Amino acid sequence: MKSNFSMVPYMMKRNPRLALSTARNFWTMYRAYGLSGDFPRRLLKRLSLLYLNLTPLCNLRCLMCGQRGIKGTLSGSAEQEAAKSVLPLSVYEKLIREVQKYHPMLYLWGGEPFLYPHLMELGRMIISSGLNLSINTNGTFLEEYAEQVVRDKWSAIFVSVDGFEQINDEIRGKNSYARAMAGIAAINREKKKRGVPLPNLGIVSVVNRINYRYMGDLVKAGQNYDLSWHIINLGTYTCDKVVEENKRFYRENFGVEACHLEAYNTGFNEGIDGEEFYRILTDIHALGSKYPIITVPAIRPKLIQDYYGFPGKALLGRCPVPWSQANINYNGDVHFCADYPDYILGNIQNEDFWTIYNNSRAQAFREKLKNSPRGIFPGCLRCYQNMLFGRRVRA
Ligand SMILES: C[S@@+](CC[C@H](N)C(=O)[O-])C[C@H]1O[C@@H](n2cnc3c(N)ncnc32)[C@H](O)[C@@H]1O
Ligand code: SF4
């Protein structure tokens, strides 16, 4: 199984500057693995990846989504209520000035980031600051914005598609496949028209019991589009026991009610036959795809059965995230774990980013993580962010 890093040589042919900058961000993350036991004497100013969750709003309701899925924390009126607190552009402008010198990759997501009202202005601001802009989108607005996105030289677009046609639409809603693929085609047309290599485009798919048997159909369909990668994310899942353990841990150690993990306790991984899925992945890798097919996390094949069969079993190494990554929530809250805004470090509307990244709450989190068994907390067992670097996990 290929790891995330396999994107870099592929991108090198298309856009050496972006490939080198991505490699540098991977290196920063890799160093964070080595350094995550240490604390800097001076202010920690290492940052490989800065997530900006721009909006809680979304036009889809994907079944397994921790925000708007069947157990999503932003279901019903919570979404509209939360949307009242999205940040004005001026707050992002200040943030970009603060972090610019350290060259993090900016990763825009949400909700659906195209529903943030100032997305195009923010995109131009990021690119003109010299930073790379990558975005994770459901792709349904790409066709409409293709011209601006290509003109403004966005770096990378991760389009979420979870299966070929009906399978995708069963998970992500009617017509979502057609709209996402039309969006990818529109970006490709625009790139061709202008003769430019950016943005790099790729698909990201989350595995669940509805789609795992049919993932090969999507990989084959993707070959007709000019993609740079297809990431197959084994998925963020949990179970009752882990949720309870995690809640107790956060309550006792941080005095916080950790309520976000429960949103991933959906049962959508139940019934996945790990051995069968391993064979499916082997067939997918044997297809000879034009671009890298990446499995995140890049675990040894033997472990796939355990990944789905035993959600309480640790398969990942210690977490480097708080030493090189951070997430800014749509309301300005800063937290390390992008999917779980439970432990808030501060808010960028009140303080500057580096002060928050180094404050006593941030240090207490790092200290506790460093001293935890296996260097992770009870709820981190299937965390996407910790898997992101794609370091191969040994059986
Ligand atoms: C929450 S979405 C936000 C961005 C955008 N709306 C989209 O769908 O791409 C971010 C990513 O998380 C993925 N995702 C949703 N539920 C997930 C789960 N249970 N496990 C892992 N990833 C998940 C989505 O497929 C998407 O790629
Ligand atoms: S499109 Fe993204 S944010 Fe919206 S429901 Fe689907 S996964 Fe969640």
**Residue 164, CA atoms < 13 Å, CB-side half-sphere:** 13
Residue that the structure tokens 């800063």 belong to: 334
pLDDT > 70? residue 1: no
pLDDT > 80? residue 23: no
pLDDT > 70? residue 41: no
pLDDT digits (tens, 9 = 90+) for 104-131: 999 999 999 999 999 999 999 999 999 9
Asked if residues 327 and 338 have their Cβ atoms less than 8 Å apart, the reply is yes
Give the mean model confidence (pLDDT) for residues 279-291.
Answer: 93
**Lowest-confidence range among 148-162, 180-194, 280-294?**
280-294
pLDDT > 70? residue 42: no
The ligand with the least distance to the CA atom of 205 is 1
In the reported structure, the alpha carbon of residue 69 is separated from the centroid of ligand 2 by a whole-number distance in angstroms of 8
- pLDDT of 33: 55
Give the binding-site residues of ligand 1, using a 6 Å CB cut-off: 58, 62, 64-67, 109-110, 112, 136-138, 160, 204, 206, 233, 235-236, 264, 384
Measured CA distances, 79 to 55, 108, 308 (Å): 9, 18, 30
**Lowest-confidence range among 63-72, 309-318, 358-367?**
309-318
- pLDDT of 395: 40
Give the mean model confidence (pLDDT) for residues 369-384.
Answer: 89
pTM of the complete model beyond 0.85: yes
pLDDT > 50? residue 70: yes
Burial of 185 (0-12, 13-18, 19+ CB in 10 A): middle
Measured CA distances, 249 to 208, 241, 269, 337 (Å): 28, 12, 24, 15
**Lowest-confidence range among 89-98, 107-116, 349-358, 383-392?**
383-392
Asked if residues 104 and 24 have their Cβ atoms less than 8 Å apart, the reply is no
Substitution site in 136, 168, 203, 339 for ligand 1 pocket (most atoms within 8 Å of beta carbon):
136
Give the mean model confidence (pLDDT) for residues 215-223.
Answer: 97
In the reported structure, the alpha carbon of residue 41 is separated from the centroid of ligand 1 by a whole-number distance in angstroms of 37
Measured CA distances, 204 to 155, 228, 340 (Å): 16, 11, 20
pLDDT cut 90: percent of the chain above it: 73
pLDDT category of residue 390 using cuts at 50, 70 and 90: very low
In the reported structure, the alpha carbon of residue 74 is separated from the centroid of ligand 1 by a whole-number distance in angstroms of 14
- pLDDT of 30: 62
- pLDDT of 329: 97
pLDDT category of residue 392 using cuts at 50, 70 and 90: very low
pLDDT digits (tens, 9 = 90+) for 5-20: 666 666 666 677 677 7
Q: Could you tell me the two tokens for 233?
A: 């994310």
- pLDDT of 4: 60
335 CB near ligand 2 (under 6 Å): no
Q: Could you tell me the two tokens for 393?
A: 């996990």
pLDDT > 60? residue 303: yes
Question: Backbone phi, then psi, for 346, in 5-degree steps?
Answer: 170, -170
- Chain-wide mean pLDDT for the chain? 90
pLDDT > 60? residue 393: no
**Lowest-confidence range among 67-76, 345-354, 381-390?**
381-390
68 CB near ligand 2 (under 6 Å): yes
